[in-house]
Structure 1
Amino acid sequence: MRFLRLLFIVLLAIVLVAVALANRDMVTLNAFPANLGTFLGVKSSIELPLFLVIFVAVAFGMLAGLVWEYLREASIRREVRNRSAQVSRLEGEVDSLRDRHANPRDEVLAIVDRPKESGTSQAPRPALPAASPATGTTLPAAR
């Protein structure tokens, strides 16, 4: 890829030098129509080599196109910025919802849902209080 880019730059330079050498003649560039410059009292013409006029005109056209496209795409960039902010806000909301719903609401569920630790040095689980039978049941009492 680097070779292709270098080849393109070299070919472009050769073409630009060839155009410059072929158009070395001096031309008169007038800023105003025929006698308007003398009427306004300013010098309205300048002598330049033709290749310079061509290169400046091409550069000016490219610059005008760049500015035109930048202004045309301003609304698209604004929309992308708004959507990006909305996506960030929604991702934060999803993360907070995951955190809120991932945590158990009950201590018993927290004990049951706690992941088992690997290895031999496991912390002892807290003992659950012994449940006493409810009054008025027909089951025999625990011995």
Structure 2
Amino acid sequence: MRFIRLIFVALLALVLVGVALANRGIVTLSAFPANFGQYLGGTWTIALPLFLVIFVAFAAGMLAGLVWEWMREAHFRREAKLRSAEVTRLEGEVGHLRDRHAAPRDEVLAILDEPARGARPGTNRASLPAAR
């Protein structure tokens, strides 16, 4: 799997270098149409190589998609957090109930059950000494 990932990254790098070499021409980007920027004071333009514009636009699109999905899935994360807290609480309650109900409720029953648990194979209850 690591080798396949390495090949994928190498191919991606080759494609990106090819795009960069093919699009080295300088382009002018304007923030506003025509001469509207002069009314706001300043030129509001920048000259960049085309490949840089492509890569920045791609990165901005990926970032916008990431933020969009993060916000869209917020209610799933909140619900998972609530359910996790509820599961933790219920597991603690079940553990407490197991501890409380696993122990014998009555000492007399514990004494009566003890010989049956500790009896050796081949012995029966009649051969055990009677409890007073």
TM-score, normalized by the shorter chain, greater than 0.5: yes
1:41 aligns with: 41
1:45-94, CA deviations, whole angstroms, 9 ceiling, x for partnerless residues? 11100000000000000000000000110000000000011111111111
Distance 2:119 2:32 in 1: 88
Offset, 1:104: 0.7
Whole-angstrom CA distance in 1 between matches of 2:13 and 2:64: 23
Question: What is aligned with 1:23?
Answer: 23
**How far, CA to CA, are the matches of 1:92 and 1:117 in structure 2?**
35
After superposition, give the CA deviation of every residue in 1:9-36 in whole Å (9 maximum; x if it has no partner).
0000000000000000000000111111
Match of 1:85 in 2: 85
The aligned residue for residue 9 of structure 1 is 9
Distance 1:42 1:97, change over 3 A: same
Unaligned segments of structure 2, at least 5 residues: 121-128
Counterpart Cα distance in 2 of 1:9 and 1:31: 34
Q: How far did 1:42 drift?
A: 1.1
Task: Flag the structure with larger Rg.
Answer: 1
Pairwise CA distance, 1:129: 5.8
C-alpha offsets along residues 92-121 of structure 1, whole Å, 9 cap, x if unaligned? Answer: 111111111111111122234445399xxx
DSSP-derived class of the 2:34 partner: coil
Greater displacement, 29-38 / 106-115: 106-115
**Alignment length, in residue pairs?**
122
TM-score (norm 2): 0.85
TM-score normalised by L of structure 1 = 0.79
* Cα distance between partner residues in 2 of 1:81 and 1:117: 50
Aligned to 2:107: 107
AA partner of residue 35 (structure 2)? N
2:118 alignment partner, SS class? coil
Name whichever structure is richer in helix by fraction.
Answer: 2
State how far apart, in whole Å, the 2-side matches of 1:51 and 1:113 are.
Answer: 83
